[in-house]
Structure formats: structure tokens, C-alpha cells
Structure 1
Amino acid sequence: MNLRSLFPARSDYTGLRSSWRADLLSGITVGIVALPLALAFGVSSGVGAEAGLITAVVAGFVAAVMGGSNVQVSGPTGAMVVVLAPIVATHGAGVIAVVSIMAGLLVCLLGVSRLGRAVSLIPWPVVEGFTLGIAAIIFLQQVPLATGTAAVPGHNTLLAAIDAAATAHLPTVIQTLAIVAAVAGVMLLVPLLHRALPASLIAVVLATAAAELLRLDIPRIGALPHSLPVPELPAVDPAALGSLAMPAVAVAALAAIESLLSARVATGLKGPDGRPTGPYNPDRELTGQGLASIAAGFFGGMPATGAIARTAVNVRSGARTRVSAVVHALVLLATIYLAAGFVGRIPLAVLGGILMVTATRMVSHRTVTAILRSTRSDAAAFAITAVITVAFDLIIAIQIGLAVTAVLTLRKVASLTGVRREQIPGAALAGDEHIALFTLDGAMFFGAAERVLQEISQVRDIEVAVIRLSQLKMLDATGAHALVDVVSALELRGITVLIKGVQPEHLSLVTNVGVIRSLRHHKHLFTELEPAIEHARSHVRRNAEARAALS
């Protein structure tokens, strides 16, 4: 195992001499975009705006240097918020730093184990269903902020949103909803003026200024520290580590999946010059993200992942090296030291409005339409994953989505397995009507074995069955055992079975399972069709002669 590839190298900064200006401007742009999101995700997860900002700084810097993508931007994300909120509700916000370190260690282990490319096995409909479910949860999580009520701890986001709306009071709810509407309006209208303008930051400044001028009595972020905290090992209760194991596994799984998906998406994005961003190292990306979450935990932050939206902004702003992501973290660090007072006055409804708009932008109408119009199995996997994500749990949703996809795919592959009865090639001879020539193609595996067994076993009025296996693409133990059952069933009825064309890669399997042993004679195995047909005709002739002699 070459561990050197998991660590920084000089090649990470190839081309920096010509791209440093673009990297610098891109980093500043992404930092401005990331500021309100970091605050909002911190508040929405239940650990506070301070933890969100610290995570964006610390994890963003570490992942930029140690990660496997030159353009990935990391920090707190909406998907991670969805996982962390129930953990905070159950165990309290104080355990998140510990969970971050535990999950980070697991993600690092995945990277060192070279499991980075496993994310490519997740089907597209499952990923999109997962994204749709996350978007719905993020939107619902903002209802308490949008109505000026306290969030209700619990796992069911929909019920918490309904309860928050039902307990809202006048005039607070009118003021907070007005701010949410204003924020949404600014974020939708500003890009129409110029796409490069930081719409979310402009919305934060205008809405906060309006709240101050109108002296609105609505919930605010509150006081923030004016410096980065000193890193330390969070208080660990050994008795509680067991109960935090499964939450840490869930966080690690999500961090790995989302980071790799984001890095993979980034490789397909093109900057202003039209050039792609280049490849990424998935194993190093996992290692880097794991170290980022560990570092965030030591500073009192929360687990981090690669952020698709911020990475896209980074690429489209012209970033070419990881310097841009480093600059993004430094911009946020400067905010802590220079603008903590202003940030503390931001109304929580502003953050709720930003995340509501962000959630709606996570879902592409074209993507949803394309999946629903693709195939029934893909549409079913998409819908089931989305519903389970909202109703239950993100990791369970991915597991069930993968299971549904696997079952539907196996069903489709099984339906492609063909059993055809064909005409005997060449001129027909007397007695050929007593010979059945079957050709198996596709995949003879556990999903198709029973159907193949039934179709061949139902044949009537024949004396010899020739089974061609030369077109078989795949054969597993269940399929081979089904062949044993086919041969045995036919032989018990007095039908001689000949097998032709066992492929070299299947020979060991059919021998070990007992297919050849089930034949009446070892010479009933053929490599060519013509000798097999001639042998079958000889059996028919002998049977005819035997019947004539008896009569």
C-alpha cells in the first residue's frame, strides 16, 4: 500500500504561478458565500452558530490541504445537519465534538483501506432521492426559525415543523416571516442583476440592517467569540462512548458519501476558461475529510463534509488549485476576529430564509422529471429513498434505496435470461421431432434459476434434450444447481440429456456442483453442436429400433 499518495505533494499546487490571482478571488468569493451558510447550519443542527463557523474555518482549512481534490470546499452542510439534529436532541450538543472525532477516525480508516471508489456503486436515482429527502428536511427544519419559535427536540422533522407553526405568536411571527420573504426575494433577484454578486451575504446585511433600524424584537444569533478557541480534547465519558458508536458510524458514512459525491461532481465542472478541474484521489479525499472532522472536534466544532454548492461556486469563480479553499477558510477566520459583533446581531429568521432557498435549489426539476420518466425501477428507488429519508433516517434511506435498486436490477437481469427451444440446424431427419435443442443465454443465477428450471422441465414428447450453454454470460452456484435439477428431472422421465458448450470459466463450477455427474454418461458433455446432435439422433434411432424389436 502506497501511503504517500494520501498526503500533500508539490503537485497539488501545479500551475499556481499562473492561477494565484484567480485562486485568491475565488477563495474570497466562496468565503463570503460560506459565511451565512456556516452560521445557519450551526444553528439548525442545534450546536450553535459558533460551532458552524469554527467548523468552516478549521475543517475547511484542513480538508483543503489534506483532501484529494484541488477545488473541493468543505465545511458544515445541510445533509450533516439532518444527521446531527437527532443526536443533539438525544445526547445533547456537548457530545458533537466527540462524535466528530470518532467519525473522523472512521473516515480516515476508510481512506487508508482504499475504499474511496465504493461511492461509484451508489446508483444515480438513490443519490437524487437522498438529495430530495435532505432538501425537504432542511426546509422543514427552518420553520421554527421562520416563525420565531423554539425548535422542538425530536427525530420527526415534519411534526416539529407543524408544532412550531402552531405555537407561533403575533406579532413575532409576522416580523420573522416578513424577514424570510425579504431574504428569499433578495436571493432570487440579486443573481438577475449580476451572477457574481454574493446574494446570500447581501440578504444578510440588508435584513439585519432593517431589523436594527426597525428595532424588531425577534430572536438573534447572540454573542460570538472574538477569537478561535484553543484546541483541546473534548470531555469524554467512557460510559457514553458505547451509545455514541452508532451515531458516529452514521456521521462517518454520510461524511464519506457526501464528500466523494461532491468531489466527483467537481471533476465534471468547468471554470470560466472552459477547462475541467481535473481528477481527484478518492482515498486521499476520505483521509483529508476524516482529519478535517477530527480537527474540528478538537476546536469544539462539528463534523464536516465536502460541500457541493460551495465547491461549484469555487470552480465557476475560476479556482484551479487548493489555495482558493485555504483562502476561503482564512476569510471566515477574519470574520471571527473582526466582525463577531455584527454577526451576533443577525436574526435567526435570516438564516432560516437562506436555508429555505438553499433547500429549494438543491432539487433540480429536470433531474426529478428525467428519473421519473426513465424506468419504473429507477423511479421507485428514487421515490422510496426520498420518502424514507424524510420519514426515518438518512443512512437507512441509502441502505433501503440500494436494496430496492439491487432487487429491481436483479429482477430485470433475470428477465433477460433466455431459454429458447430452437430448430435443429440443417436438413430435418426422421426422429428429429423427438429431440429438443435448448439454448440458454444471459445470466443463469439465483434470480433466474427457478424460471429456467420450470420452462425446461415442462417439455413433453421428447427423448433427448440438448442444452447449449455456450451463450451463457454468467453462472453462479444457484444456477449450476438448477442445471443439476433440470438434468435429474429429465433423466427421471427417461429423457437423455446432452450438454454442449460449457465455457472454460464455468467448467470448474459445473463440475464441483455436480452438473456433469448428474448426466447419464460422462460422454454426454460436448464442445461442438454437430457431434451433440449426431449423438442425440443415434439415441433416437436406438430407441426406435428397440420399440420395433418389441413389437
Structure 2
Amino acid sequence: MKAFEFKPRMFTALKHYDKKTFTADLMAGIIVGIVALPLAIAFGIASGVSPEKGIITAIVAGFIISVFGGSRVQIGGPTGAFIIIIYGIIQQYGMQGLTIATLMAGVFLILFGLLRLGTIIKYIPYPIVVGFTSGIAVTIFTTQIKDLFGLTIDKMPGDFIEKWIVYIQNLGTTDIWCAIVGILSVVIISITPRFSKKIPGSLIAIIVMTVAALLLKNFAGVATIETIGDRFTINAQLPEAQLPGLTWETIKGLVSPALTIAILGAIESLLSATVADGVIGDRHDSNTELIGQGIANLATPLFGGIPATGAIARTMTNINNGGKTPVAGIVHAIVLVLIFLFLMPLARYIPMACLAGVLVVVSYNMCGWRSFMALMKNPKSDVTVLLITFFLTIIFDLTVAIEVGLIIACLLFMKRMSETTDVKVIMDEIDPNDESDIKLENNEHLIIPDGVEVYEINGPYFFGAGNRFEEIMARFGNRPKVRIIRMRKVPFVDSTGIHNLTNLCTMSQKEGIQIVLSGVNPNVHGVLARSGFYELIGEDNICSHINIALAKAKEIVEQ
């Protein structure tokens, strides 16, 4: 097996770097930095942390993912997918618990990369990805209703259904000015792409609604529009790195949420990188990308940040604006640093209803309802997985949804893989025209002698196949003297297959039936030999092709 090599795309991209490429990266990085600003603030607040922590995450993770990642154009930072799980961890374990869980997730992501799990993670069934992505989108939308309409609710329940009950009960407390700000923000973001592809609608909405809220407050006496400054104290200073207090009990308690962060981050980052590959005609290194994501999630919590991953929307913005190499991601991080240091105090005037409007649009874009409805027309097994994952996400939480979703994925994989193996019985004679391992000088049919049964396994011999083999043999009431098992179309056999084959031979021997194998390929031959299987049936009962096996069977019958 070829040794794994950690090769960040940053270092290979700089080999032939020139002024033209830098100019393209510079312009793309500036635009992506501007796009990332409102999203970082909104994701931070929605996750239950202060707005500057969202920007710090975008800065630190954005820089590290670009430097150490396996994609040329990936942009990293906080994303909507993490909002629900971050909020839940903070509620249960506090900010220090989130810091520890994020550090642990970083370690898990690095291990995923070192163990070469990148290619496996990319093949998690599509219905599961759509199911929990749509579920996250619905949950994000649900959490923004209070701020969007300025509802007066003292304490919000954590349960999805209870939230909507409380919303309905408190509709009468809707603040008309907050509702106007929120709805207009959604409208501005939605129509901006018709007029400008470069300037993000979320930024325009924030500027317009912030100015409008200030004018209403100072000149019209409207004081009910809550802003970021009314809820948070904003610190515009770069924090120093701090290690959290680690205890074994805390680490044990956070293994499950940390794994959820790692798996979700891996899925989202690799999905983003794969989509980017399709647009730019490149091929990312999935294992290097996971290691880069892991390093980012080890670093961001030390500076007070939250979990980060590759962001599809910002990555596509980078591509659409001419980004060529990871330098664009580094520029995006530098732009955010400058904004953070010099403009962050102005963020206190941004209305909460406007940020809710930004997240409503994010949740709509994230929900993928067209993909969801298209999957509803697929086979029942896919629909079942989709709906189970979706409802588990919104009714329980993302940790449960991912754990159950992965279990379902494994069960479906085992079911479908077992269905690829076919076991058939050959009766009376074998037509050499349909065979590849028969060596005859003419086309005479091979006659199966009396007292001999021939079974053929077509496909991998592992879990499920052995049971099917036994079921087929049970249909025949007669007891032969020899059973020939043709394995010419068996590419590999696992320990379960060896166990089943051993049991079959043991049972057959007790009944006075001899097992003869035919057409075993070298790989399978080596596995069976190492397992000690040949000692059970004898080396001379392993035949290279069927006509030798039939001759051997005839000899045994006559004896």
C-alpha cells in the first residue's frame, strides 16, 4: 500500500505562482471576506456565542484551512450546519465544554485523514446528507422566528414542537417594526442577485436596515428595535490563546458531541470540495483536507472560536470571483482581520431582526427542498432513510440524527452488498460455451455424475451469502456424496464467509458428504490457506477448473 503523504495544496499552488494569479486571488479574497462578514456574525449569535467569536472563527479557520487544506479554492469558517449542535453543547456543557469538544473534534478529523477515511466519508448515502441538511435548515429557521418578529418571550424551550407552541401563543406580542426590518431584510437579500453578482445581499441588507433602525430611533422615537449592542458587549480586540481545563470526566462526556462535530465537519467540507472540483475541473485530496480541517478546529477554540468547516456558499463565491489558489482564502482572512479591528464597534447597531432575516435566507438556501422532493420519488428504502434522518434532526438533535443515520447507512450497505452475491445450483449438465474455466477440446456438455451437486457462488462470499447458500441447499431433500462449490467468480472472502464455509464443510463431513472447491482465484486461495481451511477438506480437493473438479467428484463417488 502506498504511504500516505500530507501535501497541502497551498505549497503546490505556489510553485508556478505569478502576478496575474495573485491579482485574481486578491480580488476574490476581498469579495469573499466581505461576504463572510455578515454570515460570521449571524452564525456566531445563532450558535449562542458573541458576534466577535464568529468572526474570529472565520479568521483563524479560514487562514488555516487555506494553508493546510487539500483543495485549491476551499473557504473555511463557521457554517449554518453547526448552529444547532453548538447551541446544544453550550446549553449543556457551557462555553468551556464547547471549547473542549471542538479540540476533540479537531483530533478526530486529523485521525480521519491519517486513516484515509476521506474517500469513505464522501460516500455517505445522499438521502442521509439531504435529510439532516434539510432538518438543520428547518431548525435554524425555527430558532429565528422570535427575533424576526420581535416576539416578547421570557424563556424559549429547547424542543422543536414546544418552540412552535410558544410562538403561536405569543403571536400577539409581535413588534411591527422588528417584523418590517426582518421581512425587508429577506426581500433585499432575495432581490440583490438580480442587480449585483459581486456585492452580497446580506451585506446590503445589514447596511440599509442598520441605517434605517438608527434613523427610526433618533428621529421617530422607535426604541423597540433590538440591536446586537442591546444583547451583547462587543470586544474588538484579538484574543490571546488559552488552553481550557481538561478533565477525564469532561472528555468522556463530550466524546459523542465531538464525534458529531467531526463527522458533520468532514461531510460538509468534503462535499464543498467535491462541488468545487466539478466547477473548476480539479481534484482535491480528501485526506489532506480532513487534516487541514482538523488543524483548524484545534486552533480556533484556543482563541475563543467555534467549530469550522468548508463553506459551500463562500467557496462558490471565491470561484465565481476568480479565485485560483489558497492565497484567496488567506486574503479573505486578512480582510476579516482589518474589518474586525477597525469596524467591529459599528456592529453593535445591527438590528437582531435583520440578522434573523439573513439566517432565514441561509436556511432556505440550505434546505434543498427540490432535492428533498426529488428523493421522495426514489425507492422506499431511500425515502425511509431520508424521512427518518430529517425528523430525528428536527425533533431530537443532530447527534442522534447522525448516529442513527450512519447506522442505517451501514445496514443498507450490508443489505445491498449481500444482494450482489448470487448462489445458484447447476443441474444435470454444464454448457462449456457459457463457461470460462472449462478446458475441453470440443464443445461437448459436461455431465454431472449421479451423487454430485454443483453450486456456483457469483460475487463476494461474505455476510449474508453464506446464509443464502445454506437456504438453497436446504431445498434439496436428497443427500449427495460430493458437493462441488465453484468459486471462479468470487473476488474475495471475509472472515464471515470463511466461518460459514467451515461450518458447511463440517456439517457435510458429519453427513458423509465431501466438499470440492473449483476455480478458486489466487487472492481467495491465500485467505483460505492462511485460515487453515484447506486442512479441513484436503489440498487435493481444491481444483483449478470445473472439469478437473467433476473428475475428482466422480472418483470419490466410485470409491
Category of TM-score, reference length = shorter chain: 0.7 to 0.9
* 2:100/2:246 contact within 8 Å kept: no
Aligned position for 2:440: none
Q: Does 340-349 or 234-243 show the bigger shift?
A: 234-243
TM-score by length of 2: 0.84
Question: Structure 1's 513 and 99: CA in aligned 2 closer, same or farther, altered over 3 A?
Answer: closer
Q: Structure 1, residues 99-138: CA drift from partner, whole Å, max 9, x if none?
A: 4445445544555665544433433333222322222222
Query: Of 79, 82, 85, which aligns to 1:83?
Result: 85
* 1:12/1:70 contact within 8 Å kept: no
Q: Distance in 2 between matches of 1:485 and 1:98?
A: 49
Query: Of 264, 269, 283, which aligns to 1:254?
Result: 264
List aligned pairs for 1:271-420, cutoff 5 A. 276=281, 278-420=282-424
List aligned pairs for 1:41-190, cutoff 5 A. 41-93=43-95, 95-108=97-110, 110-111=112-113, 115-149=117-151, 152=155, 155-172=158-175, 174-190=176-192
Q: Does 126-135 or 521-530 show the bigger shift?
A: 521-530
Q: Distance in 1 between matches of 2:473 and 2:351?
A: 72
Query: Of 256, 267, 278, which aligns to 2:277?
Result: 267
Q: What one-letter code is carried by the residue in structure 1 that aligns with 2:323?
A: A
Q: What one-letter code is carried by the residue in structure 2 that aligns with 1:354?
A: V
Q: Structure 1, residues 286-312: CA drift from partner, whole Å, max 9, x if none?
A: 343334334433332222222111111
Describe the SS at the equivalent of 2:91.
Answer: helix
* 2:149/2:174 contact within 8 Å kept: no
Aligned position for 2:494: 476
Gaps of 5+ in 2: 432-443
* 2:75/2:329 contact within 8 Å kept: yes
Q: Structure 1, residues 138-169: CA drift from partner, whole Å, max 9, x if none?
A: 22221222232458566534433543453355
Q: Does 102-111 or 78-87 show the bigger shift?
A: 102-111
Q: Distance in 1 between matches of 2:171 and 2:446?
A: 89
Describe the SS at the equivalent of 2:460.
Answer: strand
C-alpha RMSD over aligned residues: 3.3
Correspondence 1:193 to 2:202: no
Q: What one-letter code is carried by the residue in structure 2 that aligns with 1:200?
A: S
- Tell me how far 1:40 sits from its aligned partner: 0.8
Describe the SS at the equivalent of 2:279.
Answer: coil
Q: Does 138-147 or 475-484 show the bigger shift?
A: 475-484
Gaps of 5+ in 1: 271-275, 544-551
* 2:136/2:394 contact within 8 Å kept: yes
* 2:10/2:325 contact within 8 Å kept: no
Q: What one-letter code is carried by the residue in structure 2 that aligns with 1:342?
A: L
Query: Of 454, 458, 462, which aligns to 1:437?
Result: 454
Aligned position for 2:434: none
Aligned position for 2:238: 229
* 1:141/1:161 contact within 8 Å kept: no
Q: Distance in 1 between matches of 2:524 and 2:117?
A: 29
Q: Structure 1, residues 161-217: CA drift from partner, whole Å, max 9, x if none?
A: 543453355342x33333332222222222223433421111222223333333341
Q: Distance in 2 between matches of 1:202 and 1:395?
A: 35
List aligned pairs for 1:451-462, cutoff 5 A. 451-461=468-478, 462=480
* 1:89/1:153 contact within 8 Å kept: no
Q: Structure 1, residues 349-387: CA drift from partner, whole Å, max 9, x if none?
A: 111111111111123344334444444433333333323
Q: Does 469-478 or 508-517 show the bigger shift?
A: 508-517
Q: What one-letter code is carried by the residue in structure 2 that aligns with 1:482?
A: N
Q: Name the count of aligned residue pairs.
A: 534
Describe the SS at the equivalent of 2:197.
Answer: coil
* 1:55/1:76 contact within 8 Å kept: yes
Query: Of 509, 516, 521, which aligns to 1:498?
Result: 516
TM-score by length of 1: 0.85
* 1:24/1:327 contact within 8 Å kept: yes
Question: Structure 1's 162 and 502: CA in aligned 2 closer, same or farther, altered over 3 A?
Answer: same
Question: Structure 1's 419 and 58: CA in aligned 2 closer, same or farther, altered over 3 A?
Answer: closer
Q: Distance in 1 between matches of 2:424 and 2:476?
A: 12
Question: Structure 1's 437 and 230: CA in aligned 2 closer, same or farther, altered over 3 A?
Answer: closer
Correspondence 1:446 to 2:463: yes
* 1:139/1:355 contact within 8 Å kept: yes
Question: Structure 1's 154 and 516: CA in aligned 2 closer, same or farther, altered over 3 A?
Answer: farther
Q: Does 406-415 or 46-55 show the bigger shift?
A: 406-415
Q: Distance in 1 between matches of 2:397 and 2:289?
A: 25
Q: What one-letter code is carried by the residue in structure 1 that aligns with 2:225?
A: I
Q: Distance in 1 between matches of 2:551 and 2:43?
A: 76
Question: Structure 1's 178 and 354: CA in aligned 2 closer, same or farther, altered over 3 A?
Answer: same
Q: Distance in 1 between matches of 2:39 and 2:299?
A: 20
Question: Structure 1's 58 and 309: CA in aligned 2 closer, same or farther, altered over 3 A?
Answer: same
Q: Structure 1, residues 421-469: CA drift from partner, whole Å, max 9, x if none?
A: 2241376899946543222211221222112112113323455433222
Q: What one-letter code is carried by the residue in structure 2 that aligns with 1:255?
A: G
Describe the SS at the equivalent of 1:236.
Answer: coil
Identity across aligned pairs (percent)?
A: 32
Q: Distance in 2 between matches of 1:99 and 1:12?
A: 34
Describe the SS at the equivalent of 2:457.
Answer: strand
